[in-house]
């Protein structure tokens, strides 16, 4: 699948999600992604009928849409997590501990207040994406990174925007990109984006929109 087609799928999924009540948008977005990536042929026929035949084929992916933020990899100890992440990213452990928390179940959380993550919702979301995706990939060893887990943390920090999250926020990075099936992949430039996010979360760099 080419980048253009993949971007079109994410955009279409966002458009579909916006047609349902806000509390159902995330589930609708996930379900639409599953349909678009796993069943591309019946595009407008199946996607255009939100309460028709779409529900049945999407049912097996309901578990995927509602899956936990807990990673499926073996959870390292806190010390190992921060040590590995520091080694891979070049960011000191004290700085990492000031901006990222590893919960006992392996969920990665961003600790500074949302207002400190950026001057706009857009920049706040980008900070969350870089921190959580980088930490889950290099600290936990999750490969590829769960897009839903990163989106879930952005939602917890109140900076998740359905329509913009993948195409605008994730799509703005050179070090992180959306995979073909809704995951997040890291490129060789991930450390640049990750370090910038850490510095921003610590208040060391201007928070431009």
Q: Is the predicted pLDDT of residue 100 greater than 80, yes or no?
A: yes
CA angle 78, 83, 85 (to 5 degrees): 95
| Predicted pLDDT at 18 | 75
DSSP string, 12-31: HHHHHHTTS-GGGHHHHHHH
| Predicted pLDDT at 65 | 36
DSSP string, 107-138: -EEE-S-GGGG-SSHHHHHHHHHHHHHHHIII
Q: Is the predicted pLDDT of residue 23 greater than 70, yes or no?
A: no
What does pTM read for this prediction? 0.69
Mean of pLDDT values over 135-162: 94
- Categorize the per-residue pLDDT at 154 as very low, low, confident or very high, splitting at 50, 70 and 90: very high
- As a whole number of angstroms, the distance between CA 109 and CA 18 comes to 26
Taking only the tens place, the pLDDT of each residue in 25-75 is 777 777 777 676 665 544 443 444 445 444 434 333 333 333 446 777 889
| Predicted pLDDT at 37 | 63
Q: From its phi and psi, is residue 106 left (phi > 0), alpha (psi between -120 and 50) or beta?
A: left
Q: Higher model confidence: residue 15 or residue 162? A: 162
């Amino acid at each position: 699948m080419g980048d253009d087609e993949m971007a079109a799928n994410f955009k279409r999924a966002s458009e579909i999600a916006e047609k349902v009540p806000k509390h159902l948008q995330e589930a609708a977005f996930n379900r639409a992604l599953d349909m678009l990536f796993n069943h591309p042929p019946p595009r407008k026929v199946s996607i255009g009928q939100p309460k028709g035949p779409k529900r049945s084929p999407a049912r097996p992916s309901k578990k995927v849409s509602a899956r936990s933020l807990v990673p499926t990899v073996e959870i390292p100890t806190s010390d190992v997590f921060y040590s590995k992440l520091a080694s891979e990213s070049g960011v000191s452990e004290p700085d990492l501990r000031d901006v990222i928390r590893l919960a006992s179940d392996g969920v990665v959380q961003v600790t500074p207040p949302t207002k400190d993550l950026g001057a706009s919702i857009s920049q706040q979301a980008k900070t969350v994406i870089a921190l959580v995706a980088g930490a889950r990939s290099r600290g936990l060893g999750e490969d590829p990174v769960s897009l839903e887990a990163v989106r879930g943390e952005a939602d917890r920090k109140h900076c998740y925007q359905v329509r913009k999250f993948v195409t605008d926020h994730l799509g703005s990075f050179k070090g992180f990109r959306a995979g073909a099936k809704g995951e997040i992949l890291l490129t060789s430039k991930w450390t640049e984006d990750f370090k910038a996010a850490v510095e921003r979360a610590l208040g060391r760099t201007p928070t431009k929109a």
